[in-house]
Amino acid sequence: MLNSKLIFIIAFIAVLTGLYGVADKLLSTSESVTQPVSDDGIAKTFTLWQTKSSLNKGEHLSLADLKRVQLGRDESLALGVNADVELNLDPQSLLNSSVEAGQYLFPEQLSHPGESGYLNLITREGMTLYPLTVATRNMIQDYILPGDEIDIMTVSSPQHNLANDMSRLDDFIGLRASMLMKRVRVISVADSDTDSQSQSSKISPSMKSSDKSQTRIVIEVDPEDLPRLTLAQRTMHIEVFHSQSYRAKPEADVSDVINNYTGVVELRGASENSVGGIF
């Protein structure tokens, strides 16, 4: 009876020892598969990224465009890689060179906002960037965003400079609203409530004053439009709206909105007196 109990205990211990050995071997195998290391403790494989298709310079890049690849140490070293490749992608990452399908991608092939050359990548060929100061009175917050197309409307007067202040306008002679430009691409919109240096896009030019009635947007224009924009910014009141189709030419003068308004020029002797009002 005693011998039977002793045999049972010995057999039980042997089974436990065997199970422990099997479990330890399985765990060790799993670890060696997920994190293989060489005798000197350096990982045997490194993570790299391949492009799934050909991409052009200036295109946005996301993880959906890439395939994760594990390469052996020797293959990685042949490519000049001795550690996992980290791309630090964000929604505004752009390629600064064209790549072919299946090509390995490295951090130096990406540009991010605030880095040298980034603005050149977001500007289409033959176009240039221009910081335009606009009135915020009719702008809806977060309604016009980078990438949108806008129409630029101006209010002008031959008698007054409306670039900075319309509140002191004391007559309406020659006052006119008209379309300056259509379908202009927006690159960045400044947030007047925060410091421009903290903008996530890092593209917005800084304001020279804290006047919240105006803000600046960066737009993409043809270089031939720069003289008109420069003159308009210094003489006219400027507002922007989402681009749209118009049934008629988008322009108006005061007589279109004030009934019976007439701008009259009276000639008395050799002097000319301009009179504007409601009759």
Q: Point out the least confidently predicted range of 1-10, 24-33, 98-107, 165-174.
A: 24-33
Per-residue pLDDT, 145: 87
Mean pLDDT, rounded, of the chain: 78
Domains along the chain with CATH numbers? 45-111 (3.90.1210.10), 125-192+210-256 (no CATH)
Per-residue pLDDT, 21: 64
Q: Point out the least confidently predicted range of 47-61, 91-105, 197-211.
A: 197-211
Rounded to 5°, the CA angle 178-180-184 comes to 135
Per-residue pLDDT, 24: 59
Is the model's pLDDT at 30 over the cut of 90?
no
Per-residue pLDDT, 174: 85
Is the model's pLDDT at 35 over the cut of 80?
no
Greatest mean pLDDT among 36-40, 140-144, 201-205 lies in 140-144
Mean pLDDT for the stretch of residues 153-165: 86
Tell me, yes or no, if the pTM score tops 0.85. no
Give dist(CA 59, CA 203) in Å, integer: 18
Mean pLDDT for the stretch of residues 191-208: 45
Q: Dump pLDDT digits (tens) for 230-244.
A: 999 999 999 999 999
SS3 track for the chain: CHHHHHHHHHHHHHHHHHHHHHHHHHHHHHHHHHCCECCCCCECEEEEEEECCCECCCCECCHHHEEEEEEEHHHHHHCCCCCCCCCCCCCCCEECCCECCCCECCHHHEECCCCCCHHHHHCCCCCEEEEEEEECCCCCCCCCCCCCEEEEEEEECCCCCCCCCCCCCCCCCCCEEEEEEEEEEEEEECCCCCCHHHCCCCCCCCCCCCCCCEEEEEEEECHHHHHHHHHHHHHCEEEEEECCCCCCCCEEEHHHCCCCEEEEEEEECCEEEEEEEEC
Per-residue pLDDT, 34: 47
Is the model's pLDDT at 55 over the cut of 50?
yes
Mean pLDDT for the stretch of residues 50-54: 94
Q: Dump pLDDT digits (tens) for 74-131.
A: 999 999 999 999 998 888 889 999 999 999 999 999 998 888 888 889 898 899 999 9
Per-residue pLDDT, 248: 87
Is the model's pLDDT at 278 over the cut of 50?
no
Per-residue pLDDT, 242: 93
Per-residue pLDDT, 22: 57
